Every structure is written in C-alpha cells, then in structure tokens.
Amino acid sequence: MELFRTNAEINKWRDERWREGKTIGFVPTMGFLHRGHLALMEEAMRRSEQVVVSIFVNPTQFSPGEDLEQYPRDLDRDLKLCHELGVHVVFAPAVEEMYPPGFQTRVEVQHLTQHLCGLYRSDFFSGVTLVVTKLFCLVRPHLAFFGEKDFQQLVVVRRLSKDLNLGVEVIAHPTVRESDGLAMSSRNTYLSEEERRSALSLSLSLLEARKMVAEGELRADVLVQRAEMMIEAEPHTRIQYLQVVDEETMTDLTAVTPAAVMAMAVFVGQARLIDNMRLWPDSS
C-alpha cells in the first residue's frame, strides 16, 4: 500500500493507472474509519482493480462553531485498516496542500442543498462539493463509493459528478449499523453511555415509521409526529429536523410514495447525529 501526501504523487500514480487501463475505485473519507467505511472499501475492492481511500478532515465543510477541532482522528489506525483490506493507495493530504494560499474557488449544487442538512449547516454542502470535485479531479476514479447514511450528500455528489462531467459513477452503499441499530458514525464517539442509549431512538423511530407504512399509514405528518414523540421521549435529545422527503428532489412529501425517505438530524448531547430510511415496504 502506498501513502501519498501530495497532489503530485496521486496525479502521477493515477496517470500510470489510466495508461494501464485499470479501473480505479475511490472511497473518500474523513478518517477515524469504522465498519461503515470498511464496507465501502470492501465493495470498492470487489468492483475495481485499484482502490484509493482518501483521509482528509475537510475544514471547508465545517461551519464556525462546529466540531472541526474535536473531530476524531487516528491516522495510524486508519492506515493499518486500509492495509489489512488490501487498499492500494491512501491519499492523506495536509490542509495546505488542498487549500494553499490564494485559493478562492467555490463549487455549489444549488437546489438539492436547500433542504434538510443544507438549511442548518450553511457551509456543509459547498464544502463537500468543493472537496469532492477536487478529489475526483486528483484521483480520476471510475467509481466512487458513498454510504446511504449521508443520503442527501450522496444525491448531491451524484448530481455534482453529472453536472460537471467529472466522469465518476457514484455508488451508494446501505447504511451499516451497530447490532442494536445505531447507524455507524465517527461522531458516535462523542456519546456518553446514557446518550448512546437515547441515540437508539433514531433508528427505532425509523423502523416504527416503516412498520406503520407497511400497515397502511401513508400520511407523512402522522409518521413524523410518531417518530418525533419516540425521540423526544428520550433524555438528551433535541431534534433539528425530521421529515419525509422525496429521495430524488429532497422536497417534502405529504403522503408516502415509493421514493419516500424519512430523514432526520438529532442532537444527542453534543453529538449531531443523522439517520434515514426508505419507508416503502420491501425497499432497502
């Protein structure tokens, strides 16, 4: 496995692979890898001849006052995990390599980002679309792998790749969960034991909504109220948003359709957690 720190290194490697006609799979991460990331990396290994994992805590996707400084980091452990999985390249640039003095370019997906997380984290999506554009251009992968836990991000990045002709097929991977249902997230490390128990209400309320839909309840407001009640019943929780939206457009639905996703962001203690689930029976 090779570890690259500079754009010049990853570009040189990429040009050689393109020359050889190899399929490049790419898993962009902010590190502190958990089983969700590993599942993406395993799928990338299955579907591509060469796999690149990037590890970069991207400052432009954090708003002032968010957890950029506290965000957990453990590069040595991450490298060990990548190596064990057979990843070919880890790209872990310094912030100054990605954003040198004089940097002044923005990339924005306009409409899809005006919903859900985009309403509450003003810099988040423009930071994501900027860094993903840069990483896609640096790595020039054929395939890139994103988890459905960050469901809006997935749709935004797919739109970005298409709109800018980045030439990357964006592959979605189902959310990986702890055995009790909590969606894997590097931010779960922020939770105390008691908060960890409260956080279970996110996935439980999603499962409850799915069950209600399977039993014939299609009214979004009824589903949302029930889910809110379940979450608010737990200590340390504060709902930021909880909505039923169309998975293509991110706009609110009043009644559940086959494209309906229940999506939420909930503070549990200091941790801002997100989760989502398709509601239609038999959808994955």
**Binding interface with a second copy (CB under 8 A):** 7, 11, 15, 18-19, 21, 102-112, 129, 133-134, 137-138, 140, 159-160, 163-167
Picking from 167, 137, 181, 164, the residue whose alpha carbon sits closest to that of residue 275 is: 181
Following DSSP, what letter does each residue of 172-214 receive, concatenated? EEPPPB-TTSPBP-GGGGG--HHHHHHHHHHHHHHHHHHHHHH
Neighbouring CB atoms inside 10 A of 15's CB total: 11
Nearer to a second copy, 53 or 157 (CB): 157
The reply to whether 37 belongs to the active site is yes
> Which is nearer to a second copy, 90 or 209 (by Cβ)?
90
Catalytic residue chosen out of the listed positions 37, 88, 115, 236 = 37
Nearest distance from residue 23's CB to a second copy, in Å? 12
Decide if 63 contacts 110 (C-beta within 8 A).
Answer: no
Cβ 93 to a second copy shortest distance, Å: 10
Nearer to a second copy, 7 or 240 (CB): 7
Map tokens 């203690």 to a residue.
269
* Minimum CB distance to a second copy, residue 19 (Å): 5
| Cα–Cα distance for residue pair 202/264, rounded to 1 Å | 8
Q: How far is the CB of 7 from a second copy (least distance, A)?
A: 6
Q: Which is nearer to a second copy, 26 or 32 (CB)?
A: 26
Closest distance of CB 48 from a second copy, Å: 16
Asked if residues 174 and 199 have their Cβ atoms less than 8 Å apart, the reply is no
Residue number, 64 or 102, with CB nearest to a second copy: 102
Listed in sequence order, the residues at least 6 apart from 60 whose beta carbon sits closer than 8 Å to its beta carbon are 99, 123, 126, 127, 130, 131
Nearest to 243 by CA among 77, 117, 61: 117
102 vs 216, beta carbon nearer a second copy: 102
Q: Are 234 and 273 in contact (CB under 8 A)?
A: no
Q: How far is the CB of 138 from a second copy (least distance, A)?
A: 5
The two tokens of residue 239 are 């709902």
Bridge partners, 55 (sequence order): 29
Helix (H, G, I), strand (E, B) or coil at 271: strand
> Which positions are catalytic?
37
